[in-house]
Structure 1
Amino acid sequence: MWGSDTDVLNLALAATVAATVAAAGWLAVALARARRAHRRSVDERGWLLERERESAARTAVDEERARIARELHDIVSHKVSLMVVQANAAREVLDAMPQEAEKAMAAVESAGRDTMTELRHLLGLLAPAQDGSEPAPEEAAQLTPQPSLSRLSSLIDRFAFAGLPVEVRISGEPRPLPTGIDTTAYRIVQEALNNALKYGGGRPTEVTVRYADHSLRVEVLNSGPSVLRGDAPAPPQPDGERPDGAGRGLLGLRERVAVYGGDLDARRRLGGGYRVRARIPLERA
């Protein structure tokens, strides 16, 4: 009986060893499969991340191109419009009022110089030095600073000199603004005044900038042709710009304002003229 019990124990031990070996082999196979699956997952994830990086890079390039296109439109449309108005005024008074004509041509020259400076600044962002070096301090000092509400007075003066009466109201406590918002607010006023100059017939225009606790509000009102009086509106321009706020300039600004969570409304006023109104959220200082 003892020998028989020993055989049983040996058989049980052998079965246990075999089961253990089989389990170890199964675990090894399962581990190898898991490792292969993990590697495939890592490779797929890396591929997806690379695709996402490429997509993000393309999106960033497209957005930057759109931003540059808007900036170029702002610079060229605004400054060239002023130059055309001043040149026309100089031509009309050249014989009768040579001094006034000289002032107008000086304004044309100044606007042209400003335009070239801003274009150099903007194109400098696109074409850095070939060796990748930063511009020298004296060269950087020549670059025009980004437009901001701190330069609003000089902007208003240029339009007033071009024949557009402008009244400015500032409410609230002026405070430093994020660069993008500051530039956007300046461009809103610039574009609205530019449209008022081209389509408003030199009628008085009001600019209001309000610094609220949680937002910056910009409004430009122009007392142009009245729908109620039946005045004929200015015709659409060949380049697609229209005085009803649907031109490319204000459309681009509406996109800019939306980036900061704000909204821009531009429409014809029933009592005459046009209104451009924007609200841009701000963090409480």
Structure 2
Amino acid sequence: MREWLIAALVTACGVAGWLAVELARTRRRYRAVLGEQGRLLERERERAAATAVDAERARIAAELHDIVSHNVSLMVVQASAAREVLPTMPGEAGNALKAVEAAGRDAMTELRHLLGLLAPAPDGSDDDLPGADLAPQPGLGQLGGLADRIAFAGLPVEVRVSGEPRPLPAGIDVTAYRIVQEALTNALRHGEGAKAEVSIRYTDQYLRVEVLNSGPSVLTGAARRPAGGARPPGGAGRGLLGLRERVAVYGGDLDARRRLGGGYRVRARIPLERS
């Protein structure tokens, strides 16, 4: 009997030791799993941060393209017009040069805003460019000024708004403006003797933006060039591709194509939340 008890005690001690070893192993494995999960989460956070940085860089690149393409195109057209009329109509040449100056100032203001996002001053000030006040991001409320600038550069623009206008999310507002800006800039650059129509339609579910121009399509190669044969800066491909991606961010779609009767059509539909 005593021997049986001793054997049972020895067995119990062995089992307890084995359980203690297994518990220690289980704890080590648990800590290892936690450590691996932590490393995976850290790598995921790094990937997410890198993706966010890439997306922001792409957004800023698209903004820079829009700003430079639009304003430089206006400046080239106006400078060419000023040179043509300078000997005979110095007053008109002066007006064209004022438009060049205004386009340059607009470009500097918007570029300063974007560069401020990339490298803000330590104290949050903007003293590097005195006299150039930062302007808010453009939106559909500035379509009138855009149409006037394009018309002054030589492309008549008619703007129609239908539906009940209402405040839009900032991203959608600036995207809609950029669609019109890019389409009008391309029409101005490539449409000799053309005119343009801009239609903005507010519905309960969507914002619809359409720009039509009656000149030759940008795909025909019949691009209007300034005197001297220099090709205007920029191109429709990158701008429209970037806009298509920006519209897709909001679940919308953008279509740009030649019209059967000549000219070009850019049409976008962007979903809106019900108010």
TM-score, normalized by length of structure 2? 0.89
User: 1:4 maps to which residue?
Assistant: none
Name which of 222, 230, 244 aligns with 1:234: 222
Code of the residue aligned with 1:83 in structure 2: it is M
**2:36 pairs with one of 26, 41, 44:** 44
Give the conservation status (yes or no) of the 8 Å contact 1:196–1:202: no
From 167, 172, 192, give the equivalent of 2:183.
Answer: 192
| Contact 2:191/2:223 (8 A) holds in 1 | no
Give the partner amino acid of 2:191: G
C-alpha offsets along residues 75-126 of structure 1, whole Å, 9 cap, x if unaligned? Answer: 1110000011111111111122211111111111111111111111111111
SS in 2 for 1:265: strand
Q: How far off its partner does 1:232 sit?
A: 5.8
The answer for the alignment partner of 1:273 in structure 2 is 263
Matched, 1:166 2:157: yes
Aligned residue number for residue 74 of structure 2: 82
Residues 1:66 and 2:61 aligned together: no
Q: Once the 2 structures are TM-superposed, how far is the Cα of residue 142 of structure 1 from its aligned partner?
A: 2.2
2:125 aligned with 1:135, yes or no? yes
Deviations 1:174-221 (A, max 9, x none): 111111111100000000000000111141111011111111110001
TM-score under structure 1 normalisation?
A: 0.86
Tell me if the contact between 1:165 and 1:202 (Cα under 8 Å) persists in the aligned partners: no
Unaligned residue ranges in structure 1 (runs of 5+): 1-7
- The code of the aligned residue for 1:249 comes to G
What is the one-letter code of the residue matched to 1:44? E
**Counterparts of 1:27-42 in structure 2 under 5 Å?**
27-42=19-34
Q: What RMSD in Å do the two structures reach over aligned CA positions?
A: 2.3
Task: Say whether residues 1:203 and 2:203 are aligned partners.
Answer: no
Q: Structure 2: how far apart are the matches of 1:86 and 1:239?
A: 14
Question: Greater relative contact order: 1 or 2 (C-alpha under 8 angstroms, separation 6 or more)?
Answer: 2
Q: Which residue in 2 is equivalent to 1:252? A: 242
The whole-number CA distance in structure 1 between the counterparts of 2:259 and 2:80 is 29
Alignment check: 8 A CA contact 2:83 2:93 kept: yes
Q: How many residues in Structure 1 have an aligned counterpart in Structure 2?
A: 265
Partner of residue 113 from structure 2, selected from 117, 121, 139: 121
State the percentage of identical aligned residues: 70
**What SS does the corresponding residue of 2:198 show, helix, strand or coil?**
strand
Q: Is the contact made by 2:189 and 2:232 (CA closer than 8 Å) also made in structure 1?
A: no
